[in-house]
């Protein structure tokens, strides 16, 4: 065993304020996001950093499960691989925390193990699988339900000026006509060929989702995201059968088994996992494989600064969400959007190096 042993893990918690009126149908207003980072140190000096995030709630519980439960079981343990340690962590906490807070904690540690592994091997994650994508297609994901139509369009114009060419907006207004009017206005602004998605954040019943999907069909919607409760896989299947618009989900599925049900029972067309809550890069790659076996691409939710690099190494990469939680503003290397694409990092490791000085004032 020698020096190939986990010596310590440093956990940091940041509560980062968000500017603007960021509202979606289910979660209401977001005024901050929580960022939890984990840095793993080996006895021989190797290290790697991972992280997870929340929409402003639950972060301290993630810190607790890391410090009280997950990390104590890793200290002194031999490093094998991210995948083996991922299974170990999942099994150790399965009974109490399967698929919930534990998935977020395991994600942060899994990303740290990947970072350490790739730094040790001297390779960027986009090169690790031998299929680097030179650039990854991205879209701007707005949290814009409470913007007036004028604000909504102004924000989209601002994003187009930054280099985006594809847009997702929130739906779920009390008045269904208002949702449709916003979609019509955005489609007019974007022009007929631009990629345009919509996201209802689980707010509709199955019947309402079917009704809305039918009304949305004439606007050439790339996908309808989370039309109803993600646990209702059969409801998803009904919605998918009733409309020509492909159905998407994934950010609320935190185990590989849930993603499999989403593909096979809900029959979604766009799986959208998130490395921060699907047990890390290991979990994301498993979803990518399931998607590939079904001839589907895999897209990503949130943490664009990491997912651009992960999607950069996957041969069935779909679409990178450029999320409205700007974790990417707190890293050293800014993301450059050019004509709707971003290039994956060349840096060894997972390619996310935090600007700790910039984050310091939000630490608690």
**Which residues are identified as catalytic?**
170, 301
Residue 9 or residue 303: which is nearer to Mg ion going by CB?
303
Q: Using CA atoms, how far apart are residues 214 and 202, in angstroms rounded to an integer?
A: 17
Residues 220-239 that bind Mg ion (CB under 5 A): 225
Residue 51 or residue 139: which is nearer to Mg ion going by CB?
139
Residue 144 or residue 225: which is nearer to Mg ion going by CB?
225
Residues 253-312 that bind Mg ion (CB under 5 A): none
Pick the stretch among 194-202, 280-288, 325-333, 351-359 that binds Mg ion (CB under 5 A): 194-202
Q: Using CA atoms, how far apart are residues 43 and 275, in angstroms rounded to an integer?
A: 27
Minimal distance, residue 248 CB to Mg ion, in Å: 8
Minimal distance, residue 364 CB to Mg ion, in Å: 27
Minimal distance, residue 199 CB to Mg ion, in Å: 4
Query: What dihedral angle (degrees, nearest 10) is formed by the CA atoms of 357, 358, 361, 364?
Result: -80
Residue 117 or residue 164: which is nearer to Mg ion going by CB?
164
Q: Could you tell me which of 341, 271, 327, 348 has the C-alpha nearest to residue 18?
A: 327
Pick the stretch among 90-98, 199-207, 256-264, 277-285 that binds Mg ion (CB under 5 A): 199-207
Q: Using CA atoms, how far apart are residues 32 and 49, in angstroms rounded to an integer?
A: 22
Asked whether position 110 contacts Mg ion by CB under 5 A, the answer is no
Minimal distance, residue 208 CB to Mg ion, in Å: 17
Minimal distance, residue 91 CB to Mg ion, in Å: 30
Residue 104 or residue 128: which is nearer to Mg ion going by CB?
104
- The residue written with tokens 């042993």 in the block is 5
What tokens were used for 66? 């890391």
Q: Which residues pair with 141 in a beta bridge?
A: 168
DSSP assignment string, 297-322: -EEE-S-HHHHHHHHTT-TTEEEEEE
Site mask, Mg ion, residues 25-44, x = CB under 5 A? --------------------
**Contacting Mg ion (CB under 5 A), which of 115, 199, 258, 343?**
199
Cα dihedral 224, 309, 50, 17 sign: negative
Site mask, Mg ion, residues 144-183, x = CB under 5 A? ----------------------------------------
Q: Using CA atoms, how far apart are residues 26 and 44, in angstroms rounded to an integer?
A: 47
Minimal distance, residue 298 CB to Mg ion, in Å: 15
Residue pair 259/253 in contact (Cβ under 8 Å)? The answer is yes
Question: Residue 70 has what DSSP assignment?
Answer: I
Is beta strand 247-249 parallel, antiparallel or unpaired with respect to 270-271?
Answer: parallel
Question: Residue 267 has what DSSP assignment?
Answer: -
Residue 141 or residue 340: which is nearer to Mg ion going by CB?
141
212: helix, coil or strand? helix
- The residue written with tokens 């959208």 in the block is 272
**# binding residues, Mg ion (CB under 5 A):** 2
Residue nearest to Mg ion (CB): 199
Residue pair 109/70 in contact (Cβ under 8 Å)? The answer is yes
Cα–Cα distances in angstroms (integers) from residue 216 to residues 139, 222, 297, in the given order: 19, 11, 23
Minimal distance, residue 321 CB to Mg ion, in Å: 8
Residue 144 or residue 199: which is nearer to Mg ion going by CB?
199
Task: Report the interface residues with Mg ion, using CB under 5 A.
Answer: 199, 225
């Amino acid at each position: 065993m020698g020096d190939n042993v986990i010596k310590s893990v440093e956990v940091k918690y940041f509560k980062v304020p968000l500017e603007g009126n960021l509202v979606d149908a289910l979660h209401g207003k977001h005024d901050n996001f929580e960022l939890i980072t984990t840095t793993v140190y080996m006895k021989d000096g190797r290290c790697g950093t991972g992280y997870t995030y929340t929409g402003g709630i639950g972060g301290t519980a993630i810190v607790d499960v890391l410090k009280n439960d997950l990390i104590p079981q890793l200290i002194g343990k031999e490093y094998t691989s991210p995948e083996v340690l991922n299974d170990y962590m999942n099994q150790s906490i399965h009974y109490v925390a399967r698929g919930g807070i534990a998935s977020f904690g395991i994600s942060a540690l899994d990303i740290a193990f990947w970072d350490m592994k790739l730094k040790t091997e001297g390779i960027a994650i986009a090169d690790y699988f031998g299929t680097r994508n030179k650039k990854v297609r991205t879209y701007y994901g707005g949290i814009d339900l409470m913007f007036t139509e004028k604000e909504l369009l102004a924000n989209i114009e601002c994003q187009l000026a930054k280099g985006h060419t594809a847009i997702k907006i929130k739906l779920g207004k009390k008045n269904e006509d208002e949702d449709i009017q916003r979609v019509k206005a955005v489609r007019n602004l974007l022009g007929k060929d631009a990629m345009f998605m919509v996201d209802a954040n689980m707010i509709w019943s199955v019947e309402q989702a079917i009704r809305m999907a039918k009304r949305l069909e004439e606007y050439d919607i790339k996908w309808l995201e989370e039309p109803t409760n993600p646990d209702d896989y059969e409801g998803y299947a009904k919605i998918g059968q009733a409309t020509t618009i492909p159905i998407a989900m994934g950010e609320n599925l935190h185990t590989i088994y849930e993603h499999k049900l989403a593909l096979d029972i809900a029959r979604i067309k766009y799986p959208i996992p998130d490395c921060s809550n699907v047990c890390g890069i290991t979990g994301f790659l498993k979803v990518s494989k399931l998607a590939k076996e079904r001839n589907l691409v895999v897209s990503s939710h949130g943490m664009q600064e990491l997912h651009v690099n992960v999607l950069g190494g996957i041969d069935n990469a779909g679409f990178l969400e450029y999320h409205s939680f700007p974790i990417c503003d707190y890293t050293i290397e800014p993301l450059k959007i050019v004509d709707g694409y971003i290039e994956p990092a060349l840096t060894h490791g997972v390619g996310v190096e935090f600007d700790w000085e910039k984050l310091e004032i939000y630490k608690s």
